Amino acid sequence: MAVKNKKGAQGQSQFKPASTRVAPDRLTDPVGRDAAYRKKKEATTDTVEGLRRIIDSYATIIDRVEDCVGQVDLTGNIVFTNKAGVRIWGFKEEGDIIGLNFRQYMDPETADFVFKAYHRVFQTGRPDKITYDIIRQDGAQRTIEDSVAPIRSEGKQITGFQTVSRDVTERLLKEKELAAHRSRLEAIFRSVKDAIITVDSEMNVIEANMNTETICGLQTAALLGKTFSECLAQCNRSCIDVLRQTLDNRTTVKEYRIECGHTQHQKQQVSVTSSPLLDPEGCFMGAVLVIRDMTLLTNLERELRERNQFQNIIGRSKKMQEIFRLLEDLADLDTTVLITGESGTGKELVARALHYSGIRAFKPFVTVNCSALTESLLESELFGHVRGAFTGAIKDRQGRFQAAEEGTILLDEIGDISPVIQVKLLRVLQEKIIERVGESVSRPVNVRVIASTNRNLREKVRIGEFREDLYYRLKVVEVALPPLRERLEDLPLLIDHFRQVFNKRFKKNVDGFSNEVLDRFMDYPWPGNIRELEHVIEHAFILCHGNILTYEHLPTEIRAYPEADDKKTVSDSTRRESDLFAKTLDALSRAGGNKAKAARLLGIDRRTLYRRLDKYNIAR
């Protein structure tokens, strides 16, 4: 009836005269009257065509919408739908779905649920959203999400419902899969024995598992939403540096071992791994911190396993194992350490191992060669200076102690510093303050001091060249490195290490060394220690063009060294060359210079004795 009334109204507007009065000129001028009528008819036609184009345009837009846009009357019959509705309900044409009642495409229980939902919209007049299952024309079951709003007449009466329907079947299936996946991950998250903490880019805690409480002593519920660094009040907070490394550089830090210093867990050793946290699009959003309690394993390692390496220091001899254990004990302490040993024994490697295995690992490590600078330059280098302090001081300059703030400073060749520098360094160690050259202001410093020397400091103290009080300040703990000739058991490990290093550097594929080379290495006293060994192997690599390093590839001084007088057996303690020299002289003395008798006393033949006399430059 509504459509018919609309057509009737149009008929009246088209055929009813506009006015009962007719202008005289129109009655007397039929040509002008016809022209006016045609002009009016053309204008009306243009308006109708314009409206039709607008309607067609809107219809095209609605039909392109992926969701179903439709209308339902008060009895639940579909009175309008776009093409998406035809597709969702499984029909071929729009005409097939018009007039379809909602109870025809769902089971009775669902139909009652939908009826109540629409009735609620009718009563309240407010839009609502509901989700329900339908049965398509082909029998398939789909899940539909409806956004329902009332349609009102000009009198504000509700005459039907406007609906926007969306097929959410696949979305709900994905949501169920994700929920199941999340449930599995949460089960794994809870069951992992490691502490797992996720933070955002500002280090605010997103999530933490239950073992965070076991290992870190932190209540997980109290962590969420807080800045992680603010939650750590009972430990040395070393894991913060690891986490910040990942957040700043967006890189992974793997299995970094630290001692927590936790008030509740004494001597707890943990392995910390920090990795970038990415969203599904691969964008950086924070970090994941995994903390594994390694206390038991570390203790077992120390008791049961002989290690071949600590940081970059290589060795399996008894002396090196003792040094490894000492370095472990010193790593997380701020104790001043004095490293002694001959030149080339690896004193700087030990200092770096102490720094990078301790709580200051992510802070600066600064080295100062004290023997390479004059007194005035060394003072400026260590403590800094202000502008005008001396000729050439054109601006303020920061010293090495300030550059190493919160980190470690290595004072290499400490035995060569002057008495003036000794006094100032003693004050730094005692009071933890410095004064820049040309300035009287004291500045606090937080630096761990490690000193190294190849000199005999005790002897220098005895003859008055080194302050005794400074000596004892530096020598809180001494790490005495043995020369290579006293740890020949480590020679095979060191040789293989350098072989790998130089293979990579020179892009070669050297598999090993000839027996003659290995024998010569074992017989040679290595006065330059590990540094000399490294240079000898590098020299051989340059000359070698095959897979095996041979005797001809060695430097001249190594090949020219006298052959060994007997086979040396590698044991935990190798006799020093000086002992062999002393025994030879003693045998000659007891034999009264008789070479044959001296050889018998030594248990060697005369030819071997002659080679030994030549080796030690003992006149025959």
Which has the closest alpha carbon to 530: 501, 564, 491? 491
Fold held by 484-559: Helicase, Ruva Protein; domain 3 (1.10.8)
Give CA–CA dist 151/449, Å, rounded: 82
Fold of 204-300: Beta-Lactamase (3.30.450)
- Distance between CA atoms of residues 433 and 425, nearest Å: 10
330 vs 350: CA distance, rounded Å: 11
Q: Is the pLDDT of residue 590 over 80?
A: no
Query: Which strands sit side by side in the sheet containing 477-480, from one edge to the other?
Result: 365-369, 408-412, 448-453, 337-340, 477-480
Q: Over 90: is that where the pLDDT of 461 sits?
A: yes
Q: How many residues does the chain have?
A: 620
Best CA proximity match to 314, nearest among 575, 530, 96, 23: 530
Classify 66-172 by CATH class: alpha beta
Q: Which pLDDT score, from 0 to 100, does residue 268 have?
A: 84
**Which tens digits make up the pLDDT trace of 73-105?**
999 999 888 888 888 888 888 788 888 898 888
The per-residue pLDDT for range 254-304, each reduced to its tens digit, is 888 888 877 777 778 888 999 999 888 888 999 999 998 887 766 665 554
- Compute the distance between CA of residue 598 and CA of residue 612 in angstroms, rounded to an integer: 12
Amino acid identity, position 362: F
| Average pLDDT of span 188-194 | 75
Give residue for tokens 């229980």. Answer: 109
Q: What distance in Å separates the CA atoms of residue 297 and residue 274, rounded to the nearest whole number? A: 21
Residue located via tokens 């802070």: 363
Confidence (pLDDT) at 434: 92
Instruction: For residue range 102-137, list pLDDT tens digits in order.
Output: 888 889 999 999 999 999 999 999 999 999 999 988
pLDDT tens-digit profile of 131-157? Answer: 999 998 888 899 999 999 999 988 889
Domain with CATH 3.30.450.20 in the chain: 66-172, 204-300
Which range among 196-205, 227-236, 565-574 shows the weakest confidence by mean pLDDT?
565-574
Percent of the chain with pLDDT over 70: 84
Identify the weakest region by mean pLDDT among 210-219, 378-387, 433-442, 474-483.
210-219
Q: What percent of the chain has pLDDT over 90?
A: 38
Mean local confidence (pLDDT), 297-315: 69
pLDDT score of 307: 65
Q: What is the enclosing helix (H) or strand (E) of 259? A: strand 253-259
Q: How confident is the model at residue 199 (pLDDT cuts 50, 70, 90)?
A: very high
In degrees rounded to 5, what are phi and psi of residue 93?
A: -125, 155
| Averaged pLDDT for residues 412-424 | 92
Domain 313-480 CATH (choose: 3.40.50.1970, 3.30.870.10, 3.30.300.130, 3.40.50.300): 3.40.50.300
Please determine, for residue 619, whether its predicted confidence score (pLDDT) is greater than 80. no
**Average pLDDT of the chain?**
83
Binned at pLDDT 50, 70 and 90, residue 241 comes out as confident
Q: Calculate mean pLDDT across residues 592-597.
A: 79
Read off the pLDDT band of 327 (50, 70, 90). Answer: very high
Which of 41-55, 245-259, 333-347, 361-375 has the least mean pLDDT? Answer: 41-55
Q: Which amino acid appears at position 411 of this protein? A: L
Q: List every span in the chain annotated with CATH 1.10.10.
A: 577-615
**pLDDT (0 to 100) of residue 346:** 93
Query: Hey, how many other C-beta atoms are within 10 angstroms of the C-beta on 433?
Result: 13
Tokens, residue 518: 């290995």
Give residue 422's pLDDT. Answer: 94
d(C-alpha 344, C-alpha 531), whole Å = 5
pLDDT at 574 over 60: no
With b for 16 or more beta-carbon neighbours within 10 A and e for fewer, the 345-376 pattern comes to bbbbbbbbbbbbbbbbbbbbbbbbebeebeee
Across residues 497-502, what is the average pLDDT?
94
Given a cut of 90, whether residue 480 has pLDDT beyond it is yes
**In this predicted structure, what is the pLDDT of residue 279?**
84
What is the bridge-based pairing of β-strands 548-549 and 512-513? Answer: parallel
542-571: average pLDDT? 77
**Which listed CATH number (1.10.10, 1.20.58, 3.30.1220, 1.10.3860) goes with 577-615?**
1.10.10
Sign of CA dihedral 414, 419, 424, 426: positive
| pLDDT given at position 187 | 74
First-to-last alpha carbon distance for the chain, in angstroms, is 140
19 confidence band (pLDDT: 50, 70, 90):
very low
At residue 33, the pLDDT reads 59
pLDDT at 3: 30
Tell me whether residue 295 is exposed, middle or buried, using C-beta atoms within 10 angstroms of its C-beta: 0 to 12, 13 to 18, 19 or more: middle
Residue range 596-606: average pLDDT?
A: 78
Domain with CATH 3.40.50.300 in the chain: 313-480
pLDDT at 164: 92
Least confident of 178-192, 207-221, 397-411: 178-192
3-state secondary structure of 249: helix
pLDDT on residue 189: 67
- Which has the closest alpha carbon to 83: 102, 72, 98? 98
Say if residue 305's pLDDT is above 60: no
Pair type for strands 68-73 and 284-293: unpaired
For residue 357, name the pLDDT band (cuts at 50, 70, 90): confident
pLDDT band at 51 (very low <50, low <70, confident <90, very high): low
